Amino acid sequence: MSEPTAQLENAFESTLDSTAESAAESTVDGTAESTVDGTVENTAKHTTPDGVPFDRHSQLEQIQSGLVEGERLVAVYDAHGIGTGFIGLTDRRVIIQDKSFVGEKTAVTSVPYPRISSVSVLSNKSFAGQYFSSGTIGIHVGALTYEVEFRGSEKAQHVHNVILNRIVGS
């Protein structure tokens, strides 16, 4: 086999591998398990070498490109529903991609933890007394509420707990 043909064949196999990986990623949802002490151990689709859970590489890269010197990333999760594209958590702020603007405009909004007045778990009604029966949280900043809907309640619980710990102290 000639060298160009071998290179094309390797490139094709690599594309097939990455396509299969992407397809698998799109059907796998991040989950979390409660540990003995009640904290949530997050197992998102991916994890950085530093142990940061994230769902999509493009979202991770967008958040990483906007970090200030010394800021540490905690998690980046994909969101669905109206308005929100993803949420990033750092040791200093919450970063929300907001797609609810007129004219297909998108904003990436940074909210420092001291500006957050409360964080809520949103649900239509109580589900057998379970606190996290929903995959939706509300982040209250002044008169504004950012509603973030996740695929699964585990990510919502992780985000809620991180924000709550930052706004009430450790």
Q: What is the pLDDT of residues 15-59, one digit of tens each?
A: 333 333 333 333 233 334 433 333 444 447 899 999 999 999 999
CA-to-CA distance for 94 and 113, rounded, in angstroms?
7
Q: What is the pLDDT of residue 75?
A: 96
At 25 the pLDDT is 35
The answer for residues whose C-beta is within 8 angstroms of residue 2's C-beta and 6 or more apart is none
Inter-CA distances, 124 with 7, 93, 133, Å: 55, 28, 9
Task: List the CATH number of the domain containing 64.
Answer: 2.30.29.30
If one counts the domains in the chain, the total is 1
* Residue whose structure tokens are 């967008």: 62
- Report the predicted TM-score, pTM, of the whole model to 2 decimal places: 0.69
Q: What is the residue range of 120's domain?
A: 3-168
How far from 29 is each of 5, 26, 134, CA to CA, in Å?
38, 8, 15
What was the pLDDT predicted at 61? 95
pLDDT of residue 71: 97
Question: Which residues of the chain are modeled with pLDDT < 50?
Answer: 4-43
pLDDT for 60 equals: 96
